[in-house]
Structure 1
Amino acid sequence: MAQHKQFDVNLLRVFLAVCRTGSYTLAADELDLTQPSVSNAITRFNAVIGEDLFVRSGRNIKPTAMANYLYEQLNDSFTNIEQTISGLEEFDPKTSERQFVIFAGDVVTHFLQPALDKMIKELPIEIVFREPPDHDADIMDKLYMEQADLALDMQLPIDFRFEKKLIMSEKPMCVLRKNHPRIGDEISWDEYFNERHVVIKMRRFNLAAVDLLTDEVLPQRKVHSTKSSLLTAFDSLSSSDSICISPKRYAEEYLEMFNLRLIKPPFKIRNIDIEMVWKSKHNKNPAHIWLRGQIGKLVELKFNEHG
């Protein structure tokens, strides 16, 4: 390896970003640099190491054996340094003008956004809720690129770059209108599948929500309509004899409005587990610690409120 009296640590930061993203362009986006700047930094780092660290493979680049070795040796240490430094940053919610972005679906947003809005009403902070992208990989990429601070969602993939914490576990229930002509206080397997269903489509999975929550192979349902929002599903239930599956606590808040009631599904079904996911780099960041703490407190209060 060539000997250098002074080593530019920024070269290491760029190298690790290129390894993680597999792209000069994506690394440039992550680091807020231009693509030529990233390419130049890698050229300089090649000179420091004394050999090429990436090779072209079609339109993509691939790390060499030396690059893989350096990444394995250096990435954890560099991440720990970043976490330590970010942990020293001061954060005061009374004076900070920080904007936080949270990926969350309509159920989680319904529970948390009004409470968070109320909590920060007199603060200069902004907390913005956005619908998550359609694909898991896009959610994780945007989190990694710090285009969002948190994702509050179900069944996100396990990834060593991120931390997870279970924050909500919702019981699924069957929802139908109060004066349904055929269904009483209980519903049998045959009754359930003889009825027409409002199907809640999960965009990320291209499946009906109920199929994600049971290990049983369910018969094909008679479809009354397909919805991407539970509120529009409740509206359909109120004016038809159709049925659907919904998180219990969420549905309870709309039973009176839409003249609905709840009964237990006739098959084994798992709870809807909502996890909070964030980039590991922010474990010790005071702003992120504050945000995660506020969400944890609000979820606990909401759960106690609903029993």
Structure 2
Amino acid sequence: MVNLRNFDLNLLVIFRAIMSRGSIAGAAEEVGLSPSAVSHALARLRVMLNDELFFRTADGVCPTDRARELNADIESGLGFISTAISRQHQFVPAEAERVFTMQVADYVSGFLLPRLAQRLQSEAPRVSIDILPFSVSSESVWDRVDMQVRLTPGRLKPEVVRSRRLLADEIVVLMRPGHPCANEPMTAELYAALSHVKLSQSATGTTVIDDVLAARGLKRHMAMTVANWFEIPDIVANSDLIAIAPRRLLSLDARVAGLTAAPLPLEEVVFSFDLCWDLRTEREPGQKWLRKVVSEIFQEAGEP
């Protein structure tokens, strides 16, 4: 096998030019080098490929059988490389056939994903979105995920290479209207003492509430942990379990609107939702387009 680290791929461009022009002078004109530079490159290729490749004729040069065999593969390979590079500079949503992979915090998935589906249907009908849970290990996440819409604890930016704030929202404590503590002031101690239903870490991607409680010497009782937000409003409405949610859900989910809501008594906790991506893909046109679409969906809903 040829070690590509020791192989100058520019030599293949010169080889193709000699094949297409049939002369050293013509190839030199095509690639913008002097005839002597092209001759020198050909000499290197002959050594590396162990073949004469071209022999002189009265009209220029003629390829050997080995050169003819190589030509089809070299043309194909250079074509693939050229196409790959060209795609880095263009992305046409209406024509693209591509799968993007995302992680989306469960609190906003019900808001984001239906609107994203509408945008894809109208703008990029052959583009697909694959949603992965946040249980994917952080060590490998950016090898598998194009971007995240994640919960970020506090007011700080997330510790990832690139991010854009989509919204920051107050967190409220939810309980049924007839809950025994519905009329009591919500304190950190009362909040920790009550029984909770919560989203799993794989759905939210954060343990900030438990971390903040632990710093205060408090621990809440997890009566139930569920995989997605959809189950929580009905569980809270039909039991004495409490839950937390961004205040915005009070207007987005009719089931939540019927519950009693009190501010979360942990002032240091603010749930921010951030769009996050890897620096290595920041300039890739397809990902730039999708990040723009996600940002516009939040902006169109009146978010900062």
TM-score (norm 2): 0.61
C-alpha distance 218-227 of structure 1, shift in aligned 2 (>3 A): farther
1:233-292 Cα distance to aligned partner (Å, 9 max, x none): 222111112212222223543354683121112232421122222222322222221111
Q: What is the rounded CA distance, in whole Å, between the counterparts of 1:254 and 1:128 in structure 2? A: 24
Q: What is the rounded CA distance, in whole Å, between the counterparts of 1:257 and 1:158 in structure 2? A: 32
Instruction: Give the aligned partner of residue 57 of structure 2.
Output: none
Instruction: Give the aligned partner of residue 196 of structure 1.
Output: 195
User: Do structure 1's residue 163 and structure 2's residue 150 form an aligned pair?
Assistant: no
C-alpha distance 204-108 of structure 1, shift in aligned 2 (>3 A): closer
Q: Which amino acid aligns with 2:167?
A: M
Alignment of 1:1-307 (within 5 A): 7-8=8-9, 85=85, 89-122=89-122, 123-138=124-139, 141-144=140-143, 147-155=144-152, 158=159, 162-184=161-183, 186-203=185-202, 210-212=209-211, 216-256=215-255, 259-304=258-303
Instruction: Give the aligned partner of residue 21 of structure 2.
Output: none
Whether the aligned pair in 2 keeps the contact of 1:149 and 1:278 (CA below 8 Å) is: yes
Q: Which amino acid aligns with 2:93?
A: P
State the secondary structure of the residue aligned to 2:200.
Answer: strand
Q: What is the rounded CA distance, in whole Å, between the counterparts of 1:274 and 1:170 in structure 2? A: 8
Q: What is the rounded CA distance, in whole Å, between the counterparts of 1:213 and 1:185 in structure 2? A: 22
Whether the aligned pair in 1 keeps the contact of 2:105 and 2:205 (CA below 8 Å) is: no
Q: What is the rounded CA distance, in whole Å, between the counterparts of 2:295 and 2:204 in structure 1? A: 27
Whether the aligned pair in 1 keeps the contact of 2:210 and 2:219 (CA below 8 Å) is: no
Q: Which amino acid aligns with 1:187?
A: M
C-alpha distance 248-99 of structure 1, shift in aligned 2 (>3 A): same
Whether the aligned pair in 1 keeps the contact of 2:174 and 2:260 (CA below 8 Å) is: yes
State the secondary structure of the residue aligned to 2:209.
Answer: helix
Whether the aligned pair in 2 keeps the contact of 1:201 and 1:208 (CA below 8 Å) is: no
State the 1:126 CA deviation: 2.2
Mark the structure with the bigger radius of gyration. 2
1:135-188 Cα distance to aligned partner (Å, 9 max, x none): 5425xx2423xx3321222359745xx422222323211011123233227423
State the secondary structure of the residue aligned to 2:248.
Answer: helix
C-alpha distance 201-110 of structure 1, shift in aligned 2 (>3 A): same
TM-score (norm 1): 0.60
Q: Which runs of 5+ in 2 are unaligned?
A: 11-84
State the 1:298 CA deviation: 0.7
Count of aligned pairs: 224
Whether the aligned pair in 2 keeps the contact of 1:169 and 1:274 (CA below 8 Å) is: yes
State the secondary structure of the residue aligned to 1:187.
Answer: coil
Whether the aligned pair in 1 keeps the contact of 2:134 and 2:201 (CA below 8 Å) is: no
Whether the aligned pair in 1 keeps the contact of 2:151 and 2:206 (CA below 8 Å) is: no
Q: What is the rounded CA distance, in whole Å, between the counterparts of 1:208 and 1:278 in structure 2? A: 21
State the secondary structure of the residue aligned to 1:183.
Answer: coil
C-alpha distance 213-254 of structure 1, shift in aligned 2 (>3 A): farther
State the secondary structure of the residue aligned to 1:100.
Answer: strand
Q: What is the rounded CA distance, in whole Å, between the counterparts of 2:7 and 2:196 in structure 1? A: 68
Whether the aligned pair in 2 keeps the contact of 1:86 and 1:282 (CA below 8 Å) is: no
1:48-94 Cα distance to aligned partner (Å, 9 max, x none): xxxxxxxxxxxxxxxxxxxxxxxxxxxxxxxxxxxxx5785221112
State the secondary structure of the residue aligned to 2:165.
Answer: strand
State the secondary structure of the residue aligned to 1:210.
Answer: helix
RMSD (Å) for aligned C-alpha atoms: 3.6
Q: What is the rounded CA distance, in whole Å, between the counterparts of 2:257 and 2:95 in structure 1? A: 43
